[in-house]
A and B are shown apart, each in its own frame.
Chain A
């Protein structure tokens, strides 16, 4: 167990292409960090650089205070869980679990104890003498986790470990990973492109885009105060509505509609306005709101997603089942629930006096 420092790390490929660009992350001992972003954002590359499977072009990675840039993967004291499990197909489950320990000359009694413990924890005791090909996807994934657990490493690295599982299994494995990590208290970095997985697992989220960090923060902080339009559209399902609007004094114009902000306007002029679908509600007749033209409705069972337009801009609202819908509606929103982003940079514009209290964990990338 150890802290982990990623210091100004870059990955530069031949031709000067930067897959990872000056990334800084400080990970506390025992923390569960999730790297999330669309494919090609450099999250896997970053993880592989920590693991030592990819060379670090610039910067420094420290595990437990020790710089590991030039140290072999096997000597970095990390264990990795791969997307396609990467079990040794010619070895039984037991041999798979033992392999890393044997190569480190762990005493036999110790190996047996650790394997038994991990197998019990993951409920794979009855498969120990089977070969991986005789196991289902979920069982293989458990073995892959077991292989990491028995090593008792300083850090776990997970590279999209659940992507190959079906949806139902993914949810249960997700819970299990969280539970195991809590119990073992091992520092973990988890890579995923699934924002829901990221939200549910992380102590802190790192949202990556184009090799740069967009935002670091606790899941709810990232959800409620996205640092940029990218984060706003990536985190949360349905994605946050982003519409073009204009601020004048304390009034916001979106298409044909006008909203009064009650003194909350952080800036003036053209802005991108973010509205969460669940913050929108049908306005009462004397209230001001957005003139919404309904296109179609998605039934989700517990609620419904209402898709339509304000002016010529698409908007999605989440409604309770008992709300009466009409083709033309007026949607209201609490002005404090509005998010403003600069039109040019996409960066969040903080309302005066509402800047996030936990500033240290939100890092703006240079």
Chain B
């Protein structure tokens, strides 16, 4: 199994919004005539989760302990050696390091640009719907298409970004130079994710009560300070949600972008861990190692999600 489920949904008990202390006034208790009925209603969703998330995960774990014949004739149990091979490989550690840098930069930039655009669009009064539609529409582009468009931006011959870079004496060679490819990858990945963050930040901003903002306007004359002390803390639940989504996006959903950028290119291009899982499993036909890598990724995401809920969410105030 190559592609680990990107959604934190495979940890359902973690993603539930932990706010049972305050009971919403609107909460209703529904009585079912038969105790089986609610489970029947849940069954389709449970089936989907089981078939597409749990079962593949179990498959991945089991095949990570085997070396598989490239042609599928048989497999040999090798214990932990797939794991030790991967973890001791310098190449794997290099890719892991790039993944960390890539994830951090993509998350940071797509969140901050999304927030900036959200704040600005929220302040626009005239023609705001036109701005919003234009900013959101980018999100409708599929990842590979976005990557393709991004590639054209960075094309050696016709790419406008390459042209602009050359004005500053930067001879950009995307697909050949490691750092240039990394740069292009980050730019396209951020570009693709900004609209998503924008939508959420905008709706988050609009749910901050007007009177609270007005009270702040009377209490504090600096708009910048008001933003930091009142608006941003009230946006924290949205920002926290987006943080998790963006980290998962950077780790997994950028696959399409990376694929378009590095496929059929020189071998020294930067890739992320999830692309390495794919390369080893489907290009290299080394299913055992690929499975081991995806299990490692699963554990990383698991730990990361626990960390986020334990340490980041504690500082968040849910209204």
Chain A residues within 8 Å of B, Cβ to Cβ: 51-53, 72-75, 78-80, 82-84, 86-90, 99-100, 103, 131, 133, 147, 151
Contact = CB atoms under 8 A, between A and B. Distances in A.
A82 B222 contact: no
B116 interface: no
B218 A78 contact: yes
Closest 7 CB pairs of A and B: A74-B221, A100-B219, A86-B211, A90-B317, A86-B215, A103-B220, A90-B233
Nearest to A153: B218
Contact of B221 (A51, A72, A78, A84): A72
Contacts of A82: 211, 214-215
B266 interface: no
A86 B219 contact: no
B299 interface: no
Contacts of A87: 212, 215
A83 to B, nearest CB: 7
Contact of B212 (A75, A88, A131): A88
Given A78-B218, A100-B219, A103-B220, 10 more contacts: A52-B217, A53-B218, A74-B219, A79-B218, A82-B211, A86-B212, A87-B215, A90-B236, A90-B319, A99-B229
B209 A80 contact: no
B42 interface: no
A89 B211 contact: no
Contacts of B265: none
A204 B62 CA distance: 83
B230 A88 contact: yes
B22 A80 contact: no
Contacts of A88: 212, 215-216, 230
Given A89-B234, A90-B234, A99-B229, A53 B221 contact: no
A103 B211 CA distance: 18
A86 B217 contact: no
A51 B215 CA distance: 10
Contacts of B234: 89-90
Among A79, A84, A86, A90, find the residue whose CB has the most chain B CB atoms closer than 10 A: A90
B93 interface: no
Given A86-B209, A88-B230, A90-B233, A75 B215 contact: no
Interface string B192-233: 000000000000000001011011111111100100011001
Nearest to B216: A88
Given A88-B216, A88-B230, A75 B221 contact: yes
A104 to B, nearest CB: 9
Given A89-B234, A90-B317, A83 B211 contact: yes
B1 to A, nearest CB: 43
B318 to A, nearest CB: 9
Interface residues of B, number: 21
Interface of B: 22, 209, 211-212, 214-222, 225, 229-230, 233-234, 236, 317, 319
Q: Is the interface of B mostly helix, strand, loop or mixed?
A: helix
A87 B233 CA distance: 13
Nearest to B223: A72
Nearest to B213: A86
B101 to A, nearest CB: 32
13 contacts: A51-B214, A51-B218, A74-B220, A75-B221, A78-B218, A82-B215, A86-B211, A88-B216, A89-B317, A103-B219, A103-B222, A133-B319, A147-B219
A77 to B, nearest CB: 10
B315 to A, nearest CB: 10
B319 A89 contact: yes
Contacts of A103: 219-222, 225
A51 B219 CA distance: 12
A99 B219 contact: yes
B217 A73 contact: yes
Nearest to A82: B211
Nearest to A157: B218
Contacts of B222: 103
Nearest to B222: A103
A74 B218 contact: yes
A293 to B, nearest CB: 48
A322 B212 CA distance: 53
A99 B212 CA distance: 13
A53 B220 CA distance: 13
Nearest to A81: B215
Contact of B218 (A84, A100, A133): A100
Given A90-B317, A133-B22, A100 B220 contact: yes
Contact of B220 (A52, A78, A99): A99
Contacts of A131: 317
A89 B212 contact: yes
B281 to A, nearest CB: 46
Contacts of B230: 88
B229 A74 contact: no
Contacts of B233: 90
A237 to B, nearest CB: 29
Given A53-B217, A99-B219, A100-B220, A84 B211 contact: yes
B10 to A, nearest CB: 32
B46 to A, nearest CB: 34
B201 to A, nearest CB: 17
A114 to B, nearest CB: 14
Given A51-B218, A89-B319, A100-B219, A84 B209 contact: yes
B312 to A, nearest CB: 15
Contacts of B214: 51, 53, 73, 80, 82, 86
